[in-house]
Structure 1
Amino acid sequence: MQKAENCILLIQSMYPSFHRVEKKIADYILENSEEVVTLSISELAKNLEVAESSIVRFCKILHLGGFGELKLNLACRPKEKPVLPFGNVKKDDSTAEILDKVLGASIQVLSETRDFINHKKFGEAVECIRNANKIIFCGMYTSSTIVHDAYMRLYRIGYPVFCFTDPYEAKIAASMLDENCVVLGVSHTGRTKETIETLRLAKENGAKVIALTSFVRSPILDVADISLVICSSASEGVMEAVSSRISHIAVMDALCTCLGISRYEQTTKRIEKNSEIINKMRFE
């Protein structure tokens, strides 16, 4: 049985799509999670100066049965945050402090993604790609390097995979797909217009659509048959965005590893051949 989602991570992921009152409730919960566990819904509403019905609606957005389930979820989470050098880089930080903060941000988002990502949907994505006659990876701009790396990994072990990072080429490729094909689109924000349009076109032609993004409430998920959402901070600063992409790389790495293992004998032989070629290109 799949464990209940960590509502703190869910709030962080959904935060950019909240309206004013929802953000007010979210901010209070994120900053005072231990206190919220001790409050009644009327006490919380009074502290926030919002209606109790607003809190009930907020709980429903998180797919919780009510305020009581929210408190139970919060109470089950670790009381202490992980001791990680995570925070905004300041202009007077030393190089060692900056290194610690950047690495800490990556460690934290990877750890949270491991808890947050839906394992069942991940398994469905693996099966969908494994059984496809044609696989297309699509990622624009900063996501382009992520999909290209995954493309090379699967291409080298014999999967019928293609990679498109140019919007025009991606749409042309999507228009030629059918129900035996799958397209996987990667977008940190989930709002990249060209990627969403490519996925929509692929779906209209019958292809299965997989989306990898950082936020639960994002337009790309409206198009996807299978949604892979990592955990991302509500902030979209440079460090947070880069850390999120590291999680994207890790998820794609896990996908490729699963697909390689599923054809173990074939993969092993191809890796041996690839190694022979690569070794000839290296200095001894």
Structure 2
Amino acid sequence: MRRIAEFLLENPQSPLEGTIGDLAKESGTSAATVTRFCRLLGYAGYASFRVSIATEAGRAAARETWTTDIGRAFGPDDSATEVLSTLMNSHIRSLQETASIMDLPAVKEISRRIAQSTHVDIYGVGGSAILAAELQARLYRIGINCHCWSEVHEGLTSAAIQNTDCVAIGISNTGRTKETLQMLKQARRAGALTVAISNNPHSPLVELADRQIITSVFERFLQPDDLSAKHVQLMVLDLLYLLIAQEDFERTTQNLSKSASAVAAHRRPTRKSGTRRTPGHSAASTPERVEER
């Protein structure tokens, strides 16, 4: 652990550029020793250690370019241009930080387990329920048997019948939502692989789950529910969706094609270029054109 500490003093941002295995190799130790080192410093594991480094690096960069880059938390007299600029920089940095700390091999493993699972439960309460519903809708469309739950009684009922072939995902920005914790804990007790998606690497949700995906929100203006937190979580969900789709690409394309055909009749067709409707000339008066479209 002393060798790890000495290496990090010389290369403080190395965890942002590699995996736990990379750090172990570069410091001449093992992955298990790196994990013990992180826990000695008070972190749950390597993932939360990386989050802390990325957050501190972001703050340092912000201090150096505070006026021109990030600005400051907006006030009542700021112009709309100033608010937009501050907001854009905050959201972009949050996305960049989340990408830099993401453990892609772990995310890939989670995607593979979801693609091969017999059932997926997704738990989210409040604002996180919207994210849970979005992920459920996208996965269901490509053939993944999944449900989302925001009501704890229904969620607990579903969690209780999970098994080792199932995956349960808990989404919570704070990682402290009691209902989400209860549902994920029940799913883990039933044997499912549990996954936490949270902005808080030290939260009970992260500690409870078998696998963790940590997001990073660089700045908060309207606590506790900045939309930037949801934006980075949406990026994570989008990544999961695409990686899951890759696992069985033939199934994905077939299901997307079938679902697109099923709803095609309910979408207004695109008007052909060069066709203009004259006043008083309705579509009903030209049935042949409607049928052609």
TM-score of the two chains, using structure 1 as the length reference: 0.71
- What stretches of structure 1 move > 6 A for 4+ residues in a row? 56-59
Inter-partner Cα distance in structure 2 for 1:236 and 1:269: 43
SS class of match (2:268): coil
Compare CA radii of gyration and give the structure with the larger one: 2
Equivalent residue runs for 1:231-250 within 5 Å: 231-233=216-218, 237-238=222-223, 241-250=226-235
1:198 aligns with 2:183: yes
2:205 is aligned with what amino acid?
A: I
SS class of match (2:197): strand
SS class of match (1:136): strand
Question: Which residue of 2 is the match for residue 94 of structure 1?
Answer: 79
Deviates more, 1:252-261 or 1:114-123: 114-123
1:275 is aligned with what amino acid?
A: A
Question: Which residue of 1 is the match for residue 285 of structure 2?
Answer: none
SS class of match (1:108): helix
1:120 aligns with 2:105: yes
Question: Which residue of 1 is the match for residue 41 of structure 2?
Answer: 60
Long gaps (5+) in structure 2: 1-12, 18-36, 47-52, 270-293
Inter-partner Cα distance in structure 1 for 2:118 and 2:39: 42
Question: Which residue of 1 is the match for residue 14 of structure 2?
Answer: 4
> Is residue 86–residue 102 contact of structure 1 (8 Å, CA) maintained in 2?
no
> Is residue 233–residue 240 contact of structure 1 (8 Å, CA) maintained in 2?
no
Aligned-pair CA distance for 1:86: 5.1
TM-score of the two chains, using structure 2 as the length reference: 0.69
Equivalent residue runs for 1:196-235 within 5 Å: 196-233=181-218
> Is residue 157–residue 271 contact of structure 1 (8 Å, CA) maintained in 2?
yes
Inter-partner Cα distance in structure 1 for 2:266 and 2:94: 36
Inter-partner Cα distance in structure 2 for 1:59 and 1:173: 37
Question: Which residue of 2 is the match for residue 24 of structure 1?
Answer: none
Question: Which residue of 2 is the match for residue 259 of structure 1?
Answer: 244
Long gaps (5+) in structure 1: 8-55, 65-69
Q: Structure 1 residues 190 and 234 mapped into 2: Cα distance closer, same or farther (>3 Å)?
A: farther
Question: Which residue of 1 is the match for residue 30 of structure 2?
Answer: none
Inter-partner Cα distance in structure 1 for 2:238 and 2:199: 16
- 1:178-205 Cα distance to aligned partner (Å, 9 max, x none): 1111100100000000000111111111
- 1:87-109 Cα distance to aligned partner (Å, 9 max, x none): 31211112222222222221110
Structure number with greater CO (CA < 8 Å, separation at least 6) is 1
Inter-partner Cα distance in structure 2 for 1:167 and 1:132: 23
Question: Which residue of 2 is the match for residue 52 of structure 1?
Answer: none
Q: Structure 1 residues 5 and 158 mapped into 2: Cα distance closer, same or farther (>3 Å)?
A: same
2:15 is aligned with what amino acid?
A: E
Inter-partner Cα distance in structure 2 for 1:108 and 1:264: 32
Q: Structure 1 residues 257 and 190 mapped into 2: Cα distance closer, same or farther (>3 Å)?
A: same
SS class of match (2:15): coil
Inter-partner Cα distance in structure 2 for 1:248 and 1:118: 14
Inter-partner Cα distance in structure 2 for 1:236 and 1:218: 21
Q: Structure 1 residues 239 and 168 mapped into 2: Cα distance closer, same or farther (>3 Å)?
A: closer
Aligned-pair CA distance for 1:6: 4.7
SS class of match (2:252): helix
Aligned-pair CA distance for 1:235: 5.0
2:238 is aligned with what amino acid?
A: D
CA RMSD of aligned residues (A): 3.0
SS class of match (2:203): coil
Aligned counterpart for 2:138 among listed residues 144, 150, 153: 153
> Is residue 176–residue 205 contact of structure 1 (8 Å, CA) maintained in 2?
yes
Inter-partner Cα distance in structure 2 for 1:97 and 1:247: 22
- 1:254-277 Cα distance to aligned partner (Å, 9 max, x none): 001111121111211221222223
Aligned-pair CA distance for 1:57: 10
User: What is the number of equivalent residue pairs in this alignment?
Assistant: 225
